[in-house]
Amino acid sequence: MKTQKLISDYIVDVWMGGDAESLEPDTPLTELNILDSMGIFDLVGFLQREFSISVPMRDVTLKNFRSVRTISAMVDGLRQNEKGDAA
């Protein structure tokens, strides 16, 4: 399953009561109060478990958690970096 879809599904299930219609890849999650600081840290835990990555504290920024698209890009970048480190 695509990274973006897994992240979207989690956000919709946990914070949006299953209402997927109002969540687009570029929906501003923090600006619309879909995610707050506690939600971001919950989401970090999900990302680390689901994608077997480590999210460094320096990457836990509003910029990286602005939308499903930015979160997905961060995850894909971290996965790529971890693959490169393992080689």
CATH number of the domain that residue 46 is part of: 1.10.1200.10
Backbone angles phi, psi at 60, to 5 degrees: -85, 80
- Say whether pTM exceeds 0.75: yes
Backbone angles phi, psi at 74, to 5 degrees: -65, -45
Domain that holds residue 40: 3-86
Q: Tens digit of pLDDT for each residue in 26-71?
A: 999 999 999 999 999 999 999 999 999 999 999 999 999 999 999 9
Give yes or no for residue 77 having a pLDDT over 70: yes
Q: What is the pLDDT of residue 61?
A: 95
CA dist 21 and 41 (Å) reads: 24
Q: What is the pLDDT of residue 84?
A: 67
- Full DSSP string of 5-72: HHHHHHHHHHHSTT-GGG--TT--TTTTTSS-HHHHHHHHHHHHHHHT----GGG-STTTTSSHHHHH
How many domains does the structure of the chain reveal? 1
For residue 1, name the pLDDT band (cuts at 50, 70, 90): low
Q: What is the pLDDT of residue 29?
A: 97
